[in-house]
Amino acid sequence: MNLNVTTADWYAVAPLAIVAGTGLLVLLADLFARTHVNRYAAIVLAALGIAVAMADCAAAYGHDYAAFGGAFIVGGFGVVFQEIVLIAALGSVVLYGAIGNPDRVGGAIALMLWSASGAMLMSGAGSLMTIFLGIELLSLALYCLCGLADRPTARESAFKYLILSSVASGFMLYGMALLFGASGSVALTDLTNPALATNPLLWIGAGLFLVGISFKLSLVPFHAWSPDVYEGAPLPVTAFMSVATKAGTLAIFARFIYAALPSGVAERLLLPVWIVAAISMIAGNVGMLAQHDLKRLLAYSGIAQVGYILAALAGGTALGMRYAIFYLAAYTFMNLGAFAVAALLSDDGEQGSRLANYRGLAQKSPLAAAMMTFFLLALAGLPPTAGFLGKILILSTSVTTGYAWLGFALIAGTAISLYAYAKVIRAMYERNEHAHTHEAHPFVPLAWASAIVCVVIVIALTFYPLTPSNVLPLVR
């Protein structure tokens, strides 16, 4: 294959290069800045780099272009997912202003930026090779990040993630090999060939590929790793993982099912995925009920929330794609906001992740308690939040496309989830004079700002539902 690389191809990957390059700059700054400023130097540098990448990325919106012979595709779809990844990176990086060992913050932020560039690569991936490259780039950095705390659970988290994620990658790689065997090409475009519809290699390959995807999305029954990994990882890493991994993987999944399957295959091939999504909605929310740790709670919540997003994609309609993206964006801000509040309460470690520390919080720090309540209610889908509107939009899609049973699963899951979220709220508003509540950190400006921005955006998205048009994934 003769690959003609033009300047436009390099421009297409410029946002990734900016993010990855910023990672190097952060490392350099960490080397030269003095100890007490290096934390903020790293954060400011990273935020600047992310802002530039966001602007550069946004400029490509609406200009569909297949770079590197279709291996990396920019345009509406990729841009939206890349922006979500960048928002996740920004929202997680600022949390390092509140927590983390100052010696390691620079390195952690650099790794996070590289991981983000992997997720951005996934968002635009147009061939099996770039998909795998993106996933590995994302995951390798995350393995290190998970282990970057002194607690033994962090090492357990990193090791567990490494082993299980590698197994899933193995499944996926094998599936890709079979897909390659079927079509004779790594380009997703070539999978749409109608002649492949009856090829068993395609069916088996796509099945294995989807198993790998389900693992990365932590759908039930491939979910067991996520609560453990989330619990052990440092708070900003969990925040990043809970959004960026899901966004990147959803981008791959959506592109695969919308644009890379021969016609007529999707409905039968994907039915197990929708069943798994419905089970995830129920099981994820049931799993939340027994948790005593915010990160584990949000891990289970994330399992269910991904189920909701998949319900929007089930019909394979253009509107469904828009609503899935809307809900993903809403979920991004709700989750980042919840983690920002948790960071506010963790001045020297992980106090914000233990739910016992939320008991009686409303007396100590009413604003923090109010914001956490807001984010939890938003995740539960109560008004006036984007979670409410997102659920309405998903419900209407599933009713329209004939997947009403997914709508019922969503309703049932939401009812269960409400109890779990409200349990935390109740603990926060409990009036107990003798409670061992951790004093809220007096002033952590970045985390406060992040939480407040998230509140504003989650409310604003309700009243001004920004669902991007022109986001159908293209393969050519």
Binding site for another protein (CB under 8 A): 319, 366, 370, 377, 382-384, 388, 391-393, 395-397, 399-400, 407-408, 411, 414-415, 418-419, 422, 425-426, 429-431, 463, 465, 467
| Residue number, 55 or 415, with CB nearest to another protein | 415
Cβ 344 to another protein shortest distance, Å? 18
| Residue number, 349 or 384, with CB nearest to another protein | 384
User: b/e per residue, 9-44, with b = 16+ CB within 10 A?
Assistant: bebbbbbbebbbbbbebbbebbeebeeeebbebbbe
Cβ 395 to another protein shortest distance, Å? 4
Cβ 452 to another protein shortest distance, Å? 13
Cβ 371 to another protein shortest distance, Å? 13
Cβ 396 to another protein shortest distance, Å? 4
Cβ 428 to another protein shortest distance, Å? 9
Cβ 283 to another protein shortest distance, Å? 18
Cβ 246 to another protein shortest distance, Å? 24
Cβ 442 to another protein shortest distance, Å? 16
**Residue 39, both tokens:** 């934390």
Tell me the residue length of the chain. 476
> Is the separation of the CB atoms in 80 and 247 below 8 Å?
no
| Residue number, 109 or 338, with CB nearest to another protein | 338
| Residue number, 75 or 390, with CB nearest to another protein | 390
Cβ 435 to another protein shortest distance, Å? 15
Measure the CA–CA gap between 91 and 337, rounded to whole angstroms: 8
| Residue number, 74 or 377, with CB nearest to another protein | 377
| Residue number, 161 or 374, with CB nearest to another protein | 374
| Residue number, 8 or 411, with CB nearest to another protein | 411
| Residue number, 123 or 397, with CB nearest to another protein | 397
| Residue number, 264 or 383, with CB nearest to another protein | 383
Measure the CA–CA gap between 458 and 453, rounded to whole angstroms: 9
| Residue number, 104 or 423, with CB nearest to another protein | 423
Cβ 351 to another protein shortest distance, Å? 23
Measure the CA–CA gap between 312 and 321, rounded to whole angstroms: 7
| Residue number, 153 or 317, with CB nearest to another protein | 317
Sequence-distant (≥ 6) Cβ neighbours of residue 408 within 8 angstroms: none
| Residue number, 21 or 384, with CB nearest to another protein | 384
SS (H, E, C) the chain: CCCCCCHHHHHHCHHHHHHHHHHHHHHHHHHHCCHHHHHHHHHHHHHHHHHHHHHHHHHCCCCCEEEHHHCEEECHHHHHHHHHHHHHHHHHHHHHHCCCCHHHHHHHHHHHHHHHHHHHHHHHECEHHHHHHHHHHHHHHHHHHHCCCCCHHHHHHHHHHHHHHHHHHHHHHHHHHHHHHHHCCCEHHHHHCHHHHHCHHHHHHHHHHHHHHHHHCCCCCCCCHHHHHHHHCCHHHHHHHHHHHHHHHHHHHHHHHHHCCCCCCHHHHHHHHHHHHHHHHHHHHHHHCCCCEHHHHHHHHHHHHHHHHHHHHCCCCHHHHHHHHHHHHHHHHHHHHHHHHHHHCCCCCCHHHEHHHHCCHHHHCHHHHHHHHHHHHHHHCCCCCHHHHHHHHHHHHHHHCCCHHHHHHHHHHHHHHHHHHHHHHHHHCCCCCCCCCCCCCCCCHHHHHHHHHHHHHHHHHHHCCCCCCCCCCCCC
Cβ 150 to another protein shortest distance, Å? 37
